[in-house]
A and B are shown apart, each in its own frame.
Chain A
Amino acid sequence: MLNVGQIEEGFVLDHIQAGKSLAIYHLLQLDKLDYTVAIIKNARSNKHGKKDILKIECDITKVNLDVLALIDKNITVNVIKNGEIIDKKELSLPKEIKNIIQCKNPRCITSIEQGLPHIFVLSDEKKEIYRCKYCEEKYNERAQQFMRW
């Protein structure tokens, strides 16, 4: 398998659904950060045939990974130190997401009030249902709109 440089310190997002790595790159706002990032598309995967991988050379705390669970819980996070995997992180749904998804309800105050953050609150953990903090509009399709970028 193609191996784009071992990273010394950082983390690897593995088992990204094939073709989605760029969307995740943007979602994690890696385009705005000055870290070395390797984007690997269509790597062979035993599980799914093909997968994408992101290798990011920076301290894991510098990037907010909460939103990943929203998109795909199958993504695995390997934390690398001195070139070795020292930890695998489980993705869990964040209790609150701010300015990641937008409320689509045209009757919601977020549609007119300037400077108001779009906040969604996890209202049902089992069913993975998020609701707009203001109008309680449901949002539970796994952030599909982002994946269209």
Chain B
Amino acid sequence: MRHLMSPMDFTTAELDALFDLAADIEKQPQVYAHKCDGKILATCFYEPSTRTRLSFESAMLSLGGNVLGFSDAGSSSAAKGESVSDTIRTVACFSDICAMRHPKEGAPMVAASHADIPVINAGDGGHQHPTQTLTDLLTIRSLKGRLNNFTIGLCGDLKFGRTVHSLIEALVRYDNIKFVFISPEELRVPDYITEMLNEKSIPYEEHISLEDTIANLDLLYMTRVQRERFFNEEDYVRLKDFYILDKKKMSLAKEDMLVLHPLPRVNEISVEVDEDKRAVYFKQVQYGKYVRMALILTLLELA
């Protein structure tokens, strides 16, 4: 039995199979509408994340399965002090597969080691959020037709943004990727990332200005600057508007550059960009559902 803890749990060959399946689900969803009849997905969310939970639930429902679960720790047994390992043993009696989100890093791994059902890490603190990375990869693969040979710009909070770190680690396994990191000095990509890129001789640039470099990009991955990452309000206010992607900046970009964003956005992408065909962050949400469907099928060995 397999679990999904980190996007690196799958080899690139296994990812290819997963993405092929997701692409087929997109093409002919009716074929998959009853694949999970009689199966139950438990969504154990110890902290609220409505989008991720709905994506999992919608994925399971579209496969013909059912869902149950809780959506914040306050309403769950965790509020009474039950351990993750006890909770998962109970949940495993009621369901066939579990998606777990937890504010503590490594909690889904504890669950996986005590469960006799597959566990999917649906986000554990600042650590991993593998289904977001799978979503990003599937979006790029589906809309660009490939996962190699491009220049990707990552913009915003590159220091704390775990989706960015996971995406970088996942992309370095593909050929001929160039990274352009665009961030304020305070939110630069951590050393362990640049050290890893240096070690593997993977090209990257670091920039402060988005305008100066947007013309070179095949993909632009925008991220949110989160209030909770800052010790004082002043720094947050100063940095949150540092990069706002608007029509003017988009006019400098390539005709086929794609804009991705893990959502929710605050104001780092102006709504006027939404109608630009290069803005694919809502399509990304759709791919997030397809990739979770493919993942559920794969882990339940129903693929």
Docked-complex contact A109 and B126, CB < 8 angstroms: no
Docked-complex contact B85 and A107, CB < 8 angstroms: no
Chain A residues near B124 (CB, 8 Å)?
A: 109
Show the binding face of B for A, using Cβ within 8 Å: 83-85, 102-107, 109-110, 124-127
Known: A107-B104, A109-B110, A134-B107. 9 other contacts (CB 8 A): A107-B126, A108-B105, A109-B107, A110-B106, A113-B84, A116-B110, A133-B109, A134-B110, A136-B127
Docked-complex contact A134 and B109, CB < 8 angstroms: yes
Could you tell me which residues of chain A, from 82 to 124, have a CB within 8 Å of some CB in chain B? Answer: 105, 107-116
A132: interface (CB < 8 Å): yes
A-B CB contact pairs (8 Å), 17 listed: A107-B125, A107-B126, A108-B104, A108-B106, A109-B104, A109-B109, A109-B124, A110-B106, A111-B104, A113-B83, A113-B84, A113-B110, A114-B83, A132-B106, A135-B105, A135-B106, A135-B127
Query: How close is B16's CB to chain A, nearest CB, in angstroms?
Result: 26
Query: How close is A123's CB to chain B, nearest CB, in angstroms?
Result: 11
Query: How close is A113's CB to chain B, nearest CB, in angstroms?
Result: 5
Query: How close is B37's CB to chain A, nearest CB, in angstroms?
Result: 34
Query: How close is B251's CB to chain A, nearest CB, in angstroms?
Result: 41
Chain B residues near A107 (CB, 8 Å)?
A: 103-105, 125-127
In angstroms, Cα B125 to Cα A113, docked, is 15
Q: Which of B84, B102, B106, B125 contacts A133 (CB 8 A)?
A: B106
Chain A residues near B110 (CB, 8 Å)?
A: 109, 113, 116, 134
CB-CB nearest in chain B for A103: B106
Docked-complex contact B85 and A113, CB < 8 angstroms: yes
Q: Which of A109, A114, A115 contacts B105 (CB 8 A)?
A: A109
CB-CB nearest in chain A for B109: A134
Number of inter-chain CB pairs below 8 Å: 49
B106, B107, B109 — most chain A CB neighbours (10 Å): B106
Chain B residues near A136 (CB, 8 Å)?
A: 105-106, 127
In angstroms, Cα B102 to Cα A107, docked, is 10
CB-CB nearest in chain B for A111: B104
Query: How close is A137's CB to chain B, nearest CB, in angstroms?
Result: 8
Query: How close is A39's CB to chain B, nearest CB, in angstroms?
Result: 38
CB-CB nearest in chain B for A136: B127
Docked-complex contact B106 and A134, CB < 8 angstroms: yes
In angstroms, Cα B287 to Cα A30, docked, is 57
CB-CB nearest in chain A for B78: A112
A108, A111, A135 — most chain B CB neighbours (10 Å): A135
In angstroms, Cα B105 to Cα A132, docked, is 10
| Chain A 130-145 per-residue mask, 1 if CB under 8 angstroms from chain B, else 0 | 0011111100000000
In angstroms, Cα B166 to Cα A136, docked, is 13
Chain A residues near B106 (CB, 8 Å)?
A: 108-110, 132-136
In angstroms, Cα B122 to Cα A117, docked, is 23
Chain B residues near A116 (CB, 8 Å)?
A: 85, 110
Chain A residues near B104 (CB, 8 Å)?
A: 107-109, 111-113
Chain B residues near A114 (CB, 8 Å)?
A: 83
In angstroms, Cα B82 to Cα A114, docked, is 9
Query: How close is B53's CB to chain A, nearest CB, in angstroms?
Result: 20
